[in-house]
Chain A
Amino acid sequence: MAGKTYDVIVVGSGASGGWVAKELTEKGIEVLMLEAGPPRVPTRDFTEHIWPYQLKYRGFGNQKKLLSDQPVQRLCYACDDYSHQFFVNDSEHPYTFPAGKPFMWIRGRQVGGKTFCWARVSYRYSDFEFKGASHDGYGQDWPISYKDLEPYYDRVESYIGVSGSYEGLEQLPDSRFLPPMRLSCGELVAKEIVEKKFGWKLIVDRSANLTVPLNGRPACHYCDECQRGCFTASYFNSPSVTLPAAARTGRFHLVSDAVVSHLIMNSEGRADGVAYIDRTTRDTREARGKIVVLAASALESTRILLNSRSRNFPNGVGNAHGVLGHYLMDHTTLEDGGGTMPALQSSVREPVGRPCGYIIPKYVNTVGPHKNKNFLRGYYFAGDGRQELYGHAASTPGLGREWRDKVRSRIPYSFSVYAQGECLPRYDNYVTLDREKKDAWGIPALHIHASYGENELAMAKAMRDHLGEIMDALKLEDRTPPRDELNIFGKNIHECGTARMGNDPKTSVLNAYNQVHGVKNVFVTDGACFVTQGCWEPTLTIMAISVRAADYIADEYRKGNI
């Protein structure tokens, strides 16, 4: 590698980087991918068929280790006894926030990034997102529209596989679906009631799991433990889907354990490559490329740009107008609503293993009659209906055989429902480099400054009211009301923005093709480019945008324009 200048350097091997590498290498372009984390080995690191009794801590986790090594990551539901290996060590990867503005930053550093442990929920955005400002006057439109992205959604979905049902909703465009999964008994009951009483749809979720075989990958066998890995590669992650496609071209070079610290800029204001640090030896190295694509996840890519300071770029690359780092978003959620459905209490166990739940797509401030003037934009509901496993055992009174028989034969049926809403992009939600704190490799840590605004709080009230109405309509018992407060900022792990796209270099960092304004050979393809986020999970859109940017890069590179 030493001395070689690659066509393109891609930083990060997750959802975004994987697609960029696949598209570029398949178009004949030589790619060097630098990935900060180590490779994962299925036969060593995957645990989807491990049983709790095979684990030292029986699934409850080594709490001491979690508290000391992963005090932030452990708060993520997926960072547990089985899957903590897919999350970073927080003492090596610090960040800071003002005491009154907690931010939860969940990171996966490895070949594959967070695609190992993601929940696979996959939605297309619509022009309610891309053209949100034209719709209600707030903020900015994206410089692209649904029509621009539609062919790329098609391409991504046909390759990774997204299961779901065709619904024809304007606010949640259909994907090219594999067959949908099925609703559970409780969800079917709820569907009938919710659709009749409120006129909202209740559908099975859309998920990047294979319900039929696709491109050499076998169908899912419904063990429902995807965040622990998947030997059969039946859900989308980059190490088994996009990266192998890149590797098959013979033009893909992967260096793992390479922590990129900054871009190397030349006197003409172009990037010559990047500087990185060997994760294990801590040696500093450089890699040369004609084009650099940052796909290190939203906040990490922005951190690299901010840390690329030089005489020509005193505030970092892409920061001529002080926009870099701003307009951070993550979804809000109001969680923990639910209860039991007494009519479905049973003594017979149902098969379980569907790796998704149900959703009630956004119905407010979109098509249809339901408008709420107290806030802009909207939210959707999600959850699942299923039998309790043994959650009822400790509170079932009694002892011995008789008690165990009760636990076995009176299986409560739980139904959960929570809301996820849009967070408006605001200048005041931002990241900067921390003045003092550095990570284990000496790279300045991020200081994250984010809180919810009036719109989010007003929306939370509507969410809460309607969650209550749903729970009433379903006549749930043993209820847990939704929480009083919105979740901590960042908890949804859908952090986006901070290097947004736009046509005006004064108010945005990237152009419509993810190219840094004024720096032709640097691109950012991950969620940092988002202008708005809707209430929908971002990753499918991140992937479609990555493919579109890669198409553009390949074309322009061929034409000699970059």
Chain B
Amino acid sequence: MQTRRQWLMRVAGGAVLAGWSGVDLAAAEFPPGLYGPSRDHLGHALAGHPVEPGGETELVQVRAAAFQPAFFQPNEYRTLRQLTGIILGESADAAIVHEIDEWIDLTISEAASVRAAARALSPLHRTLAIHFYGAEQVRHLEEFDAQRVVREGLAWLDTEAHHAGGFTELDSEEQMALVHRISDAKSDNAGARLFTYLKERVVDGFYTSRAGLDELGYRGNAFYASPPGCEHLYG
């Protein structure tokens, strides 16, 4: 597995910027807000985030203490981790599962306030949203209760696994069998609703991770010397 730096260096193979010695227009000459081309662009790109504080971009924060889920109860969170692991498969490493599940916890913990904000739109703003997205999607935003879907789904799993004392107590084959029953819209119950919702979140979480993007072989947000276009079809 390559590091981000190695990856960037590789895609920078075209050396677009390496040899460039442009007129670096010192920002100090200009009133605030004006700027010249950066000479140290690769440096900024490798740093990967705005270096100066005070911006409006919300970055992942390094946490001082151990992670505490905001929405999930400890036993629910254990189930979530196992489900994420099952969706991603055996080879998924614990760090990735953790990265995804922390974000899922954030998303679900804020779902109620997002819904409240959607319901609080002024009539004019709601009109705009309806014309933009369509009435059905606006209603979904106002009514879809992710917390309930998740909580009821997890409870459903525990009920099905009642004989063993809950989902987390099943052995892995039993867990797989149970998840298969609710996967890919094979049924319509609280478990299936949870699965559908969760698979979408795991997809969003995994394929926005470094590992997920590398797995896809994503070749964008890179440094190219000439515009990417069709390489083979017609030359």
Contacts and interface: CB of A to CB of B under 8 A. Distances in A.
A381 interface: no
A99 interface: yes
Contact of B224 (A90, A187, A353): A353
B2 to A, nearest CB: 14
B179 A71 contact: no
Nearest to B184: A397
Contacts of A400: 86-90
Interface in A241-291: 243-244, 247-248, 252-254, 256
A221 B37 contact: no
Contacts of A84: 56
Given A51-B48, A218-B20, A231-B38, A82 B33 contact: no
Interface stretch (A33-41, A296-304, A425-433): A33-41
B186 to A, nearest CB: 10
A54 B48 contact: yes
Nearest to A484: B134
5 contacts: A56-B59, A111-B32, A394-B199, A394-B200, A404-B215
Contacts of B129: 71, 75
A219 interface: yes
Contacts of B29: 247-248
Nearest to A181: B227
B89 A75 contact: no
A82 B56 CA distance: 9
Contact of B33 (A39, A71, A231): A39
Closest 8 CB pairs of A and B: A182-B229, A39-B33, A111-B33, A400-B89, A349-B217, A52-B208, A401-B89, A67-B117
Contacts of A224: 220-221
A104 to B, nearest CB: 6
A398 interface: yes
Interface of A: 13, 35, 38-60, 62-64, 67-68, 71-72, 75, 81-82, 84-85, 90, 96-97, 99, 102, 104, 110-112, 181-185, 187-189, 211, 213, 216-225, 231-234, 239-240, 243-244, 247-248, 252-254, 256, 348-354, 389-390, 393-394, 397-404, 407-408, 488, 491
Chain B, interface residues (CB within 8 Å), range: 35 or more
B52 A44 contact: yes
Given A102-B131, A221-B17, A352-B228, A56 B117 contact: no
A404 B45 CA distance: 29
A390 B219 CA distance: 13
Contacts of A56: 58-61, 106
Contacts of A223: 220-223
A408 B179 CA distance: 22
Nearest to A348: B217
Contacts of A48: 221
Given A45-B56, A247-B31, A399 B117 contact: no
Nearest to A86: B56
B23 interface: yes
Interface in B172-219: 179-180, 183-184, 199-200, 203-205, 207-210, 212-213, 215-219
B54 A44 contact: yes
Interface in B51-90: 51-61, 86-90
Contacts of A39: 31-34
B30 A393 contact: no
A330 to B, nearest CB: 14
B113 to A, nearest CB: 5
B221 A38 contact: no
B122 interface: yes
Given A49-B45, A60-B204, A63-B117, A349 B35 contact: no
Contacts of A40: 33
Given A71-B122, A213-B20, 14 more contacts: A13-B33, A39-B31, A42-B35, A43-B44, A49-B221, A50-B48, A182-B230, A189-B233, A218-B17, A221-B222, A221-B223, A225-B221, A240-B35, A354-B228
A503 to B, nearest CB: 38
Nearest to A252: B31
B103 interface: yes
Nearest to A63: B114
Given A85-B55, A350-B231, A390-B207, A64 B117 contact: yes
A528 B35 CA distance: 28
Contacts of B222: 221-223, 351, 353
B164 interface: no
A104 B216 CA distance: 36
A425 to B, nearest CB: 22
A256 B38 CA distance: 23
Interface in B155-171: none
Contact of B210 (A53, A97, A99): A53
A188 to B, nearest CB: 5
Contacts of A247: 29-31, 34
Contacts of B203: 390, 393-394
A111 B16 CA distance: 28
A256 B209 contact: no
A232 B230 contact: no
Interface in B85-114: 86-91, 99, 103, 106-107, 110, 113-114
A234 B56 CA distance: 23
A370 to B, nearest CB: 27
A67 B210 contact: no
B118 interface: yes
A239 B34 contact: yes
